[in-house]
Amino acid sequence: MNPRPLTNISILLVEDNEMNTLLASAIIQGTGAKVTEADNGMDAVQLLRNRPFDLVLMDLHLPVMDGFETTKYIRKNLSQTIPIIAITANVVNGEEERCIEAGMNGFISKPYTEKDLLDKIATCIPFKNGIAEKITSTATTAPASALYSLSFLEDVSKGNRNILQQMVLVFTEQVPLAVTQLKIAYNNHSFGEMYAIAHRIKPDIDNLNITSLKDNIREIEVFAEQKKNGPVLKNLIVDLDITIQQVVRELKVNILP
């Protein structure tokens, strides 16, 4: 039994295998730590946007966004320092190096023992007098004002709340659907359709002043027009999807009845 208590430590476990999730949760909770579960990379990103965590356990082979993509997104957009430990069942040459390059702090292969897991966690969290110290989270939660601005729509609606809400409702219904269609077009290598969709939702992004996506959507347009596929385009679309979901969530809470 590992003697290192993790009381008050909050861990995000990103794992899509139910048995593995139960196993890891049981081990971690036995130390007093709080565990929050996500079964794909996109859900993990949303949780990190909205809540502080002390450590992330990240399976590499996840649906929607794999562990490498998710870690790179976290490092670029949310936190440079939150510890991220990779978990995988596939030990292949170079995979540990890929984990480090993506920004992970450690690597553990399945199947692992209780001691293996807790020892690895202990390398990423400071201890004082044998008890884990809570790390001040550096993951950032983007406030609604940083995600978008309604100033333009408010000017257009001239103080009429109903009109403003109607415009916001159209955005929340149509733009996420368009992003879904964009992802399908990307998977089908339909560059013409990708360009048309990106061009169509570009004014919507500008109207809500979603500054983090203004360059993003234009880059997607250029890549699609030039039929340039690859990881950069994929990451642009992933960023677009995550941010639109966050904006829609904020709009539904703050603006829509």
State how far the alpha carbon of 214 is from the alpha carbons of 91, 176, 183, 218, in Å.
40, 16, 18, 7
Q: Output 141 or 220, whichever has higher pLDDT.
A: 220
Instruction: Check for a shared fold between 10-132 and 144-254.
Output: no
> 132-166: per-residue pLDDT in tens?
566 544 444 444 346 889 989 988 888 899 999 99
Residue boundaries of the structural domains of the chain: 10-132, 144-254
What is the mean pLDDT of the segment spanning 44-65? 87
Check residue 137 and report its DSSP letter: P
> 74-127: per-residue pLDDT in tens?
888 888 889 999 988 766 666 777 888 889 988 888 888 888 888 888 888 866
Class (C level, CATH) for 10-132: alpha beta
pLDDT at 189 over 90: yes
- The reported pLDDT for the residue numbered 142 is 40
Burial of 196 (0-12, 13-18, 19+ CB in 10 A): middle
Query: In the CATH hierarchy, which fold is given to the domain comprising 144-254?
Result: Four Helix Bundle (Hemerythrin (Met), subunit A) (1.20.120)
- The reported pLDDT for the residue numbered 239 is 86
Q: Which residues contact 109 (CB under 8 A, 6 or more apart)?
A: 87, 88, 89, 91
Amino acid (1-letter code) at residue 124: C
